[in-house]
Amino acid sequence: MTIEYRVAASSNAGQDFRLSQYMYVLLYPALIAIIVFGHISDAAMPIKHMIAAVAIFGTVTIYLIVSTSLRTIEASTKDVTSEEENLHVAQDGRKQPWGAFQIYAAIATAAPLLLTLIAIYS
């Protein structure tokens, strides 16, 4: 990878990560408001399924964006030239627990989804 490509890829991954944060901030308060104020737990089953589908697809989309962003950033920190290898940033990037970040992203998106589905179907 060239330096310009890595910089552009990291920048795009950062923008995608911010997009997922905006989606999260918009999706879950909206779902909570719909569930609470719309009395979704008392609604007909097709309405519950519709709200659950929005929650599932929204959460999966957020997770896919976060996971892809993490993988892009990980790849840009590992594929460095010999001159960049001695830089502090490159050494720091190799030491990051990228697998743990992926697990955290999965848990951080699955837990709210599980709670949302419990609230819908309770």
Alpha carbon distance 71, 65 (integer Å): 10
Taking only the tens place, the pLDDT of each residue in 36-92 is 999 998 999 999 999 999 999 999 999 999 999 999 888 887 777 777 777 776 777
Average pLDDT in the chain: 88
Split into its structural domains, the chain has a count of: 1
| pLDDT above 90 coverage of the chain, percent | 61
- What does the block give as tokens for 45? 């089953």
Helices (H), 79-97: 88-95
State pTM to two decimals. 0.84
Whole-number pLDDT of residue 41: 85
Residue 17: which domain range? 3-121
